[in-house]
Structure 1
């Protein structure tokens, strides 16, 4: 049984400071890039912050990043191809490593995200 969201530890962290396993799981959940999935919220100082939501069984992550940073992360990461999509071979490896992750490709139609 999954704990309810209200009982989960909430973590706000930069992508680069996350454990590599969590980074891999995030890539599986967002195989077509991060920028279109950012949400906006106010931090403790009432400043507007953008973050990528990511949930595990134990924690609710808000991965802090701007739209520009989200695009740059994907462009600089060899796990993604030139179109900003998670490479097929990498995706298969991460699926083998993290088989219990439900990722967006099963739940969303990405054709609508193309320009």
Structure 2
């Protein structure tokens, strides 16, 4: 059985998922973005992230990815997750999922912006 695939805007991601994303990408998001064509045929960029239940694409541009990290107090001035934050979050979550963006079929992705699955 394949996992549901969900596109979410960064602003709509809940705090627990954000903490897991920060653990997966402790040096920021910008260099990990992938490009894909959304259900409306528009070229988009997003950060791939996988949980036990779902594949997520967290929609953001490269400039937004840089700004998000710069404005986040969990990261230092160099864009690295603070050690104390990493230790706090690591105690909450397992980090055994490996995600391969090449496994994503854009035709199978639910987009929150066009009536797809929403977890708010």
The verdict on a shared fold, with TM-score over 0.5 as the criterion, is yes
Residue of structure 2 in register with 1:13 after alignment: 8
Distance 1:97 1:57 in 2: 15
Q: How far 1:103 moved relative to its partner?
A: 7.9
> For the aligned residues, what is the CA RMSD?
1.4
Scaled by the length of structure 2, what TM-score is found? 0.78
Match of 2:91, SS state, is helix
Higher relative contact order (CA 8 A, sep 6+): 2
Structure 1 residues 30-109: aligned runs within 5 Å: 30-98=25-93, 100-102=94-96
> What is the Cα deviation at residue 44 of structure 1?
1.1
Distance 1:58 1:35 in 2: 24
Contact conserved, 2:9 with 2:60, CA < 8 A, in 1?
A: yes
Specify every segment of 5 or more residues in structure 1 that has no aligned partner in the other structure, as ranges: 105-115
How far residue 52 of structure 1 moved from its aligned partner, in angstroms, is 0.3
Using the TM superposition, give the Cα deviation of residue 102 of structure 1 relative to its aligned residue in structure 2, in angstroms. 3.7
**TM-score normalised to structure 1 length:** 0.81
State the 4+ residue runs in structure 1 displaced beyond 2 angstroms.
Answer: none
